[in-house]
Structure formats: structure tokens, C-alpha cells
Amino acid sequence: MSFFLMPTPAAARRAFLGHSGLMLSGAAVALLAGRDALAAKSGSATGNDVQILNTALGAELEAIAAYQLGAESKLLEKPVLDLAVTFQGHHKEHADVLAKTIAKLGGKAVAAKARYDFPVEQLKSQADVLRFASKLEQGAVSAYLGAVPLFGNRELSKAAASILGDEAMHWAVLRQALGETPVPSAFVS
């Protein structure tokens, strides 16, 4: 399953968390949040942490490629193009932190794929590109929402919630650009 080809919220959570119900360890999330001292207190990381971080890194690299596709499509007007490039920059920052975290944990970061299976033939207008990006961000929100409550350490939940907040803002702005209600309900699932 490709994470960004409009997954269901449950599928997005599974893609983010990895196979067999694995989850990020407290140490990994503390490292992601730039809190090395907290990571040391949280215990050592496992090979599963590296695997899951690589899954998240793969998703971030795919998001970078998706925003690049949108930027190069010549379908986006200047303000929307600027927005896409800004959001792509956020995903680049996430990918950089993930790759550094994987290295800190002794793992080898995955590389971007040479080609992604994006629905290029369906992207014929600015609205199509925005809808594609909106679904991408919705999947990221759902994935982080599934991860936040898994942490016993409130600081780690706070770090994961910070990333979730960034993805939720992207999704809301994209919905607004589509002329949709930016926040369609009082709860996110």
C-alpha cells in the first residue's frame, strides 16, 4: 500500500506505526523532538525503532516527492505554489530529523525511491493537486493521532503531538484553499 494514495485513517496509522503493531519507543520520539537528554532517560532504542523510523522517513520522502510533483505540474498559481513549496520544506525538515535520529540509533536511513506511484493522470487542475496534497496530509494527521496516546511519558506524547499539529495545520490550510471548511468537525479521526 502506498501511504499517500488516499489511505483510510486506520491504514495510515498502520503504515506509520509499522508492521505487527510496532510503535516508536520513548527514546526514539525524544530524539525526534531534539531532546537527547530525555532520550537517555527513556531507555535504549531497539531495531524495531529504527524500522519504524525508516517507515516514517519513507513517508516523508514520499511527501517531498509529491509536493515536488505538484510544484512542477505548472497547475499551481503563484500563492498556491508558494504554499506547496513551504509545506515541502516542512517535510524536508521532518525527513532530516528522522534520518539523523536513525543514525543516532545506529541504523541506516532509507533513501528516496527513484519513482513513486502517484496518480499523475488524475492531476489535471490546481484543485486536483490540492485534493491530492490534502489527502496526503490527512493521512499524516491520522498516523500521528494513532501514535500520540501510545506513549506513557507525557513529554514524548507532547513531542509527537507537536508533529501532529504541523500536519493538521497543513491539512486545514489545504482544505481552505479548496474552498472547503478548514476544520470539518470538532474531532479528528
Gap between the Cα atoms of 83 and 72, Å rounded? 13
Q: Tell me what pLDDT residue 139 has.
A: 84
Question: Given a cut of 90, is residue 174 above it in pLDDT?
Answer: yes
C-alpha cell at 142: 491520522
Question: Given a cut of 70, is residue 152 above it in pLDDT?
Answer: no
The pTM score is 0.73
pLDDT, one tens digit per residue, over 61-75 is 988 999 999 999 999
Q: Tell me what pLDDT residue 187 has.
A: 87
Q: By C-alpha distance, which of 80, 81, 45 is closest to 156?
A: 45
Helices (H) and strands (E) in the chain, counts: 7, 0
